[in-house]
């Protein structure tokens, strides 16, 4: 989704407003599919429950208090209210491919990109005036500071086997990963001896 941010700038929205909106859109499309499918087929699917599931905590005296509203408290957004999509230029596709390291220059790829952008466009319809962007759920918490004593490390024998290739206790990376990245240019080259 980093690519989407590049186009539309960063809009960060309180999660408790946007989640129901996205869920509504998602579930709306799913319900349509369910209605058109044979109920028998549905039962055959292993992961889909055949009746509503009730959650119960066996040893709790409180009833389970679900935060999910039982009735929708939001309004579905008509497709026409979303502003129209600007053209995705070739330069933009180039930049996205480089950032994401994914090739999607095919027709299907571009269609998929446009639909993904359209999906994310719902975010633009949310009114965020006076709402401070949230960084994380921890943002009002206290950052714990650790004392400066050595407590870990010295586990090369556990880390090196995690890699496919190692050379004498070094990890190995193929040279193709060294295009320009982040402006770093340290280059130390190994000198080869006869041994």
Partner 1 sequence: PGRDAPAQSRSNRTFSMLEYVLACLCRSRPHELVGVVGLEIHAQIQSNTKLFSGSKVGFSAPPNSLVSFFDASLPGTLPVLNRRCVEAAVMTALALNCTINKKSFFDRKHYFYADLPAGYQITQQRRAVAVDGQLAYSLLGGRKRNQIQSRTVRIKQIQLEQDSGKSLHDDQRSQTLIDLNRAGVGLMELVMEPDMSCGEQAAAAVRELQLVLQALGTCQGNMSEGQLRVDANVSVHRPGEELGVRTEVKNINSARFLSRAIDYEIQRQIEALGRGEAVLNETRTYDSKSGFMPEPNLPPLVVYEDRGSVPAGLLGAEGVVVLEGLREGLPELPSVKRARLVRSYGLLPEHSFTLVNEDGLMEYFEAVVKETRKEPRKLIGWVTNELLGHLKHHNLSVSKCPVSPSALAELLELQEAGHISSTVAKQVASLSPSVCDSVSLSVSVRALQEGNKKVLNRLMGLVQKETKGRADPVLVRSLLEEKTS
Q: Tokens representing 190?
A: 């190994």
- Rounded Cα distance between 43 and 29, Å, is 19
Q: How far is the CB of 63 from partner 1 (least distance, A)?
A: 32
* 103 sits near partner 1 (criterion: CB under 8 A): no
> Of residues 9, 71, 138, 193, which one binds partner 1 by CB under 8 A?
138
**Judged by CB, which is closer to partner 1: 129, or 181?**
181
Contact 86, 118 (CB under 8 A): no
Of 18-26, 66-74, 105-113, 148-156, the window that binds partner 1 (rule: CB under 8 A) is 148-156
Angular region, 72: left φ>0, alpha ψ -120 to 50, beta rest: beta
- Rounded Cα distance between 8 and 135, Å, is 18
Q: How far is the CB of 6 from partner 1 (least distance, A)?
A: 7
* 164 sits near partner 1 (criterion: CB under 8 A): no
State the DSSP H helix or E strand holding residue 35, giving kind and residue range, or none if neither: helix 15-36
Interface residues with partner 1 (CB under 8 A)? 2, 6, 101, 135-136, 138-156, 159-160, 162, 167-175, 177-178, 180-190, 192
């Amino acid at each position: 989704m980093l690519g989407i941010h590049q186009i539309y700038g960063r809009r960060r929205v309180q999660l408790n407003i946007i989640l129901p909106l996205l869920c509504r859109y998602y579930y709306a499309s799913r319900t349509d599919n369910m209605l058109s499918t044979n109920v028998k087929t549905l039962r055959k699917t292993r992961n889909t429950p055949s009746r509503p599931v009730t959650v119960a905590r066996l040893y709790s005296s409180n009833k389970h208090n679900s935060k999910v509203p039982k009735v929708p408290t939001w309004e579905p957004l008509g497709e026409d209210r979303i502003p129209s999509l600007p053209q995705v230029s070739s330069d933009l596709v180039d930049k996205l491919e480089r950032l994401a390291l994914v090739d999607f220059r095919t027709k299907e790829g571009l269609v998929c990109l446009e639909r993904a952008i359209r999906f994310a466009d719902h975010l633009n319809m949310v009114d965020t005036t006076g709402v401070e962007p949230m960084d994380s759920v921890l943002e009002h918490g206290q950052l714990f500071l650790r004392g400066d004593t050595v407590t870990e490390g010295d586990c090369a024998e556990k880390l090196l086997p995690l890699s496919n290739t190692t050379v004498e206790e070094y990890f190995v990376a193929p040279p193709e990963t060294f295009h320009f990245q982040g402006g770093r240019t340290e280059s130390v080259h190994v000198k080869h001896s006869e041994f």
